[in-house]
A and B are shown apart, each in its own frame.
Chain A
Amino acid sequence: MNVIQAILTGALIGGLYALMATGLSVIWGVLRIINLAHFGLILIGAYLTFQVATSWHLDPILTLVISVPAMFVAGAAIQWLFDRLRLTEFNSLLVSFGLLIIIIQVTSNIWTADFQRMSADVNPYATLSVAVGRLVFPVTTLVAFGLAALVVLGAHLVLRRTFAGRAMRAIAQDRAVAGAFGVDHRRLSVLLGGVVGATAALAGMVFALSNALTPETAFEWFGTVFAVVILGGIGEVVGTFAAGVLVGVLSGVVSAVWSPATAPFVLFSAIILALLVRPQGLFAVGGAR
């Protein structure tokens, strides 16, 4: 029973990893930019949820009304800037890391480096859970999983079925030729940056629901989220979701049967093994890139 609970809880937590990773993966796949500032946007999204819910006594989920538009604008602005700088894939790593450091500095100036957590009276979700038989699921993980599934499904449909989505996949494969057929890559990249920023707001909100915040948290997301991006296949939204769930399950099970401390060790060993077998990512089938 313990193991089943660990698997299911892990899968649900994997939803948060997928939510964090999808935007990073799509921007990487379509625009060839590794945007580390994405972690900064998630962080700001989380703090916005914390701040708005705390000061206005708003339901934390409703804070999305503020944080989603704000992060849309921030994400679009960052992409606009990257476009002006004509970043290469490698340079983007350096520039966006710089940007992340700035964001972390600014957040710790505003919200201090101490842990901040929504109090129980504004955040009813933290302690809620749903019981199915003897299995128990925290509501926060259900929210994470549900939002991740929605985002991934939406992104998948947009990429496959719409002119804008086809144009993004075309940009990923041959920008100049896509341009010759009328695809304005500047406009699309700003739009994509905005949408991805909005997903960062969702991820931040979900994180703030069940965790205390400190600016340094952004660095803790790196390992797991990159693992999910690489395993899922760069630019592959459905793959990213599957990888998020897999990574969640793996860490959950290892933590339950072994100990939480060994989880990262087992996780990354498994990832390296997986990449030896399938360097293009476990779930890559030919997506955006």
Chain B
Amino acid sequence: MSEPLLQVRDLDVRYGDAQALWDVAIEVHEGETVCVVGPNGAGKSTLVNAIAGIHPAHRGRIGVGGADITRLRGHRICEHGVAVVPEGRRIFPKMTVLDNLVLGAYRKSARRQHRATLADVYEIFPRLSERAGQLAGSLSGGEQQMVAIGRALMAQPRLLLLDEPSLGLAPVRVDEVYDAIERINERGVSVVVVEQDVQRALAVAGRAYLLGEGRVVLSGPAATLRDSEEVRRSVLGL
């Protein structure tokens, strides 16, 4: 098999003295959708934020497309084609929808084509074009989620990290978001999705990782994880 697009090895992440991840290793190949599940506090968001450069790694190696990004300052990481939809959306509430999206294309190589990318994003989320001039903070939760995903797409990522994209959304909205994720993946973007809604995530993903207390507990094809005793116990509560 070819070299993975994302390769995380021996990753430790700390918040001051408190360690949140131990020896975490995950891989994502070109074109794959991988999901990360686990109970609250397992370290899923910590993993996403470490890859995206929102929080630094303490030890280990994070490689993207063969390049080592572990020690890069946060703003350099997106140049390697990583974009994130962080937990809680974290859109810029006092900027318009349009400005949020355009900011997504801040990195040099995305900036030149930002108008074309914007048209693509509007095609995926037509509602955003209707709301373009509105302050992002005044949108509904579902619309804000679209802004967060649209902003990430504006960066023209090779690897899209989504942290709980369905959080707080009505079931119809969740369907819309997952349809969009599938379409994005079909365009050749590799996807890592962290999800509370385990059934949903395991349905779209090819492979999955189960995190528990800061370590990878289990990994394998999504279908296998869905039936595993550990997943049923630790996240589904069955």
Which residues of A are in contact with B by a Cβ distance under 8 Å? 163, 166-167, 169-170, 173-174, 176-185, 286-289
Contact = CB atoms under 8 A, between A and B. Distances in A.
7 contacts: A163-B103, A167-B106, A181-B103, A181-B107, A182-B79, A184-B75, A185-B75
A57 to B, nearest CB: 47
A103 B83 CA distance: 44
B52 A287 contact: no
Given A166-B102, A181-B103, A173 B94 contact: yes
B221 interface: no
Contact of B75 (A169, A174, A182): A182
Contact of B93 (A173, A179, A180, A181): A173
A166 B84 contact: no
B92 interface: yes
B104 interface: yes
A180 B92 contact: no
Given A166-B99, A170-B103, A180 B54 contact: yes
B74 interface: yes
B124 to A, nearest CB: 18
A162 B111 CA distance: 11
Given A180-B78, A180-B84, A287 B103 contact: no
Given A181-B151, A182-B108, 16 more contacts: A163-B102, A166-B106, A167-B103, A169-B92, A170-B92, A170-B103, A173-B94, A176-B55, A177-B84, A177-B92, A179-B53, A179-B54, A180-B74, A180-B84, A181-B103, A286-B135
The prevalent SS among residues of A at the interface is helix
* Size band of the interface chain B makes with A: 20 to 34
Contacts of A288: 94
Nearest to B104: A181
A173 B92 contact: yes
B161 to A, nearest CB: 9
Interface in B72-106: 73-79, 83-84, 86, 90, 92-95, 99, 102-104, 106
B54, B74, B78, B93, most chain A CB atoms within 10 A: B74
Contact of A176 (B74, B79, B102, B106): B74
Contacts, number: 77
A287 B94 CA distance: 7
B155 interface: yes
A287 B75 CA distance: 23
Contacts of A166: 95, 99, 102-103, 106
B79 A170 contact: no
B92 to A, nearest CB: 5
Contacts of B107: 181-182
A163 B90 contact: no
B34 to A, nearest CB: 19
Contacts of B111: 163
Contact of A180 (B52, B94, B135): B52
3 interchain residue pairs of minimum CB distance = A182-B107, A179-B74, A184-B75
Contacts of A286: 94, 135
Contact of A183 (B55, B75, B90, B95): B75
Contacts of B54: 176-177, 179-180
Nearest to A180: B52
Contacts of A174: 90, 92
Given A166-B103, A176-B54, A181 B95 contact: no
B106 A182 contact: yes
Interface string B138-152: 000000000000010
Contacts of B104: 181
B92 A182 contact: no
Given A181-B151, A185-B75, A173 B95 contact: yes
A289 B90 CA distance: 15
Nearest to B90: A177
A176 B111 CA distance: 20
A180 B95 contact: no
Nearest to A177: B90
Contacts of A163: 102-103, 106, 111
A180 B53 contact: yes
A167, A169, A170, most chain B CB atoms within 10 A: A170
A125 to B, nearest CB: 40
